[in-house]
Amino acid sequence: MNKQNLTKKRFRETVNIDELVEGILSGERAITYEEACLLAQLKDKEPLYEGAHRITRTLMGNGFDTCSIINVKSGNCPEDCRWCAQSRHYHTGADTYPLLASVESVAQAVYNRKQGVNRFSLVASGRTQSTREITEIADTFRDIRKACDIECCASLGLLNEEKLGKLWEAGVTTYHCNMETAPSFFPQMCSTHRQEEKVTTIKAARCVGMRICSGGIIGMGETMAQRIEFAFFLRSLDVHSIPINVLHPIPGTPLADNPRLSEEEYLTTVALFRYINPKAYLRFSGGRDLLPLTTVRKAMYIAINSAITGDMLTTTGARCEEDMTLIRESGYTTEVNTDWEITNNA
């Protein structure tokens, strides 16, 4: 039997969800790409969701990781990412400003820590940051560390090991760099940089001692098979914090007229990400406000166990107080250690 017929045979087979979940929980096996594609085609998704719920609560417990962000530099980005309001290639009306003064970031970090948020990230537009900007940002992180005990994260584009080292010395413990989408789809979404450059950045961040946070956006026109491909790509990079953004179509961008994902598509994607990345924090991120509250609660039952809370860059986010109530009502707590493993050479 040739390879094509073997592939067809595998796709005609069914997946025993209970056996698959038991194998994942015991560590004896991992889900395959073919199995994930089969599960995505199930008409009745409830067994899929229940299996993901079991994996989440058994392997990850009831800890819920929270973070908040501040956009310390906005707009005028030279990259052409087709979804982004901050690209100078598109006319979106997004705010444009240089680096914020340290005092603004410190005040926001202190406020969020008082709200019970675990982590705080400085996010800046642009392909990268200059040496001068990195020095200023590092000083801001030092000021934050003096003012409160919140964990510091950064999302500053494509950085080399030298610049990342300066941030690490200033107290940054996590670096965020989204892979954005499946390798097969990324070139259709961005032409000004390559995913390989992002991989180089996260490898450099690990080398200096940082944790990694990397996810992307769903609903940009990719297929379900490509979402599955994306989840496996993140697994291959050993990512343990995965933001799952839902595309918020922004007027002026090339994706402004993209249709919204159905609730079932979203929940199925979240569930499959859990089967493929069983020990990752799957994180609510941008676009969550597009989802009905019932879907948000269902996603938390299935697999979501972390969230960006507060304002989210150029889209509307959720207030900390509301999120903390929702977290408690969903059976999670923010009072336990949610640090994920650091994979580095330090």
Q: Which domains does the chain possess?
A: 59-329 (3.20.20.70)
Residue 338 above 50 pLDDT?
A: yes
Residue 300 above 70 pLDDT?
A: yes
Q: What is the pLDDT of residue 319?
A: 78
- What is the mean pLDDT of the segment spanning 137-160? 98
Of 66, 65, 61, 90, nearest to 78 by C-alpha is 90
Instruction: For residue range 67-96, list pLDDT tens digits in order.
Output: 999 999 999 999 999 999 999 999 999 999
- What is the mean pLDDT of the segment spanning 258-271? 97
Question: Considering the entire predicted model, what is its pTM?
Answer: 0.93
Q: What is the pLDDT of residue 14?
A: 87
Q: What is the pLDDT of residue 320?
A: 86
Residue 345 pLDDT grade (very low, low, confident, very high; cuts 50, 70, 90) = very low
